[in-house]
């Protein structure tokens, strides 16, 4: 897969560094411009060149190639021989999509000058990209715009980047509509079929799918719960819905819980004993009342 990686300085006041790779092979390297012109951005209500808004710096993130075409006569001096259109895929680039930045225009042209919100690479880099796109049919190219990170001391295999250059504050004699960057971007978007990332199912299909799932769950529950006297056995028995758990520990042949039956019998016996005791006590009291009539005093020592 063809991948273009552009490392940009945080302040966007210096040149970026671009690396073109095909698989693990490095095809080309060189300077790039990922900085917008403040004066042009201010005329479009973005004086700070906010990357999330139109005419600002190219947003960080991942993009995929959407469309490419020749720049056409009269525009190659400004854009190089080819125009590449990328659409956002992830990162801040995808956030900028909600502010109207539906694509990022990549082109060539003279180095060292800011853009109207697009990304400028060297003409040699652009030629290498177009050559490989012609071999693959333009499929499977990605663009990664990432912050510039200096090489760590242990990354001895990584080639040092060339020193960056300060950028001028103005653009390179910007062309007027319909040949400015915004007009070209809009025209290329109209020619393209954008990639659909998320699909929402039809409401009727979703409803039928949910109904099928509910029916499946109900059928599954009906097959497992047979209703065979004590097949579930309560929480103190098997604790499952399966048929093989009809008799668990503490359950007799009739599916009754032995412990509960024993407890109920014990309570009934205790109640009968209490009733017998109360009857005996009542009989003794009546006998004493109808006898000699002598007072009986009970003394209890503690």
Q: How do residues 174-206 score in pLDDT, each as one tens digit?
A: 788 999 999 999 999 999 887 666 544 444 444
Which band of pLDDT confidence, cut at 50, 70 and 90, is reported for residue 278?
low
Mean pLDDT of 274-298: 46
- Whole-model pTM: value is 0.64
Dist CA 136 CA 142 (whole Å): 13
The CATH number of the domain covering residues in 2-150+164-190: 2.40.440.10
Q: At residue 195, what are phi and psi to the nearest 5 degrees? A: -75, 130
Dist CA 219 CA 234 (whole Å): 22
Angstrom CA distances, 143 to 1, 13, 31, 214, stand at 11, 21, 15, 44
Which band of pLDDT confidence, cut at 50, 70 and 90, is reported for residue 296?
very low
Is the pLDDT confidence value at 121 over 50? yes
pLDDT for residue 99? 94
Which band of pLDDT confidence, cut at 50, 70 and 90, is reported for residue 297?
very low
Is the pLDDT confidence value at 161 over 60? yes
Which band of pLDDT confidence, cut at 50, 70 and 90, is reported for residue 45?
very high
Dist CA 272 CA 266 (whole Å): 10
Dist CA 90 CA 103 (whole Å): 12
Instruction: Name the β-bridge partners of 2.
Output: 22, 141
Outline where the chain has alpha helix (H).
38-42, 76-79, 92-96, 123-136, 181-190, 203-224, 258-289
Average pLDDT across the chain, whole number? 75
Angstrom CA distances, 91 to 9, 51, 146, 196, 197, stand at 17, 12, 10, 17, 14
């Amino acid at each position: 897969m063809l991948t273009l990686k552009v490392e940009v300085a945080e302040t966007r006041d210096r040149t970026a560094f671009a690396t073109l790779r095909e698989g693990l092979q490095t095809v080309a390297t060189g300077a790039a411009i990922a900085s917008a012109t403040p004066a042009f951005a201010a005329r479009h209500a973005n004086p700070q060149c906010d990357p999330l808004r139109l005419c600002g710096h190219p947003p960080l993130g991942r993009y995929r190639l959407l469309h490419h075409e020749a720049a056409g006569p009269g525009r190659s001096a400004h854009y190089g021989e080819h125009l590449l259109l990328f659409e956002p895929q992830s990162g801040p680039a995808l956030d900028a999509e909600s502010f109207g930045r539906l694509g990022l225009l990549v082109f060539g042209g003279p180095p060292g000058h800011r853009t109207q919100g697009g990304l400028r690479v060297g003409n040699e880099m652009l030629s290498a990209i177009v050559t490989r796109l012609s071999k693959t049919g333009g499929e499977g190219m990605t663009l990664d715009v990432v912050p510039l990170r200096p090489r760590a001391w242990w990354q001895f295999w990584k080639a040092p980047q060339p020193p960056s250059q300060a950028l001028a504050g103005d653009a390179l004699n910007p062309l007027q509509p319909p040949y400015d960057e915004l007009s070209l971007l809009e025209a290329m978007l109209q020619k393209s079929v954008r990639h659909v990332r998320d699909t929402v199912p039809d409401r009727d299909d979703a409803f039928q799918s949910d109904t099928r799932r509910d029916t499946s769950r109900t059928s599954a529950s009906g097959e497992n719960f047979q209703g065979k006297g004590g097949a579930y056995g309560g929480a103190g028995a098997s604790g499952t819905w399966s048929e093989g758990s009809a008799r668990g520990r503490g359950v007799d042949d009739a599916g009754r819980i032995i412990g509960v039956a024993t407890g109920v019998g014990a309570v009934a016996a205790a109640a009968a004993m209490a009733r017998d005791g109360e009857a005996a006590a009542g009989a003794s009291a009546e006998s004493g009342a109808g006898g000699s009539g002598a007072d009986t005093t009970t003394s209890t020592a503690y």
